[in-house]
Chains A and B, each alone.
Chain A
């Protein structure tokens, strides 16, 4: 039963954090290079641009869901299983989502990494 709870928590974390990552990445690309913007216009401009971006707010909402799922999960299982498993599976789903929704160039290196990471997750869960 503990295993079922742990893997349910991992599934919710992966779904929520992939949604959040894609939305946050889109938001930050719309904001632009934070370092350059900071030097040019100051921290308040950076903060205002980020906080006014709707994708950022929706991304934070999704990440909050992922965070509380992580809190639940960590109270039931080992940190060395839940944290790497959810983060690694998120990496694989992010590669797919980034290609579809962000139009990132996911080349053979990045797909190879996704396969190796998936294998690593299986070993971590063993």
Chain B
């Protein structure tokens, strides 16, 4: 794991937490959406908080895809677990939601659980059965380029 890869994981965490919070604030401003008025959920993107939230979630998506290209799914998800802590802090101090002691304990338990995973390897190494195929493919690709 390089410093750049840790930055990508930090990007996943920050963009997801802040993006979710902005979406929540925007959807609360819009109010309840009835199943009889489904187009309202499409028009929700016109709300500035929802729009900014979507932009941050696009940033999350790009960094998440990057992380998945060099790490296991079961590594990337827990490695970005600090988002739960950040999300609860945002909910408490920015959205002014009630966060009870049991919810704080839940956040701690989740963070402790996912902390286990980050001590292990980031990627499962499968037997190199794909290598012969790649070796055949690469010279063919190189020939095409010439």
Contact = CB atoms under 8 A, between A and B. Distances in A.
A98 B4 CA distance: 25
B126 interface: yes
Given A113-B117, A123-B105, A98 B74 contact: yes
Nearest to A77: B24
Q: Is the interface of B mostly helix, strand, loop or mixed?
A: helix
A115 B114 CA distance: 10
A93 to B, nearest CB: 11
A52 interface: no
Contacts of B116: 109-110, 112-113, 116
B73 A88 contact: no
A68 B69 contact: no
Q: Is the interface of A mostly helix, strand, loop or mixed?
A: helix
Contacts of A76: 32
A1 B109 CA distance: 29
B113 interface: yes
Interface residues of A, number: 57
Contacts of B117: 109-110, 113
Given A75-B33, A103-B126, A121 B110 contact: yes
Contacts of B6: none
Interface of A: 21-22, 24-25, 28-29, 31-35, 50, 63, 67-68, 70-72, 74-76, 78-81, 83-84, 87-88, 90-91, 94-95, 98-99, 102-107, 109-110, 112-117, 119-126
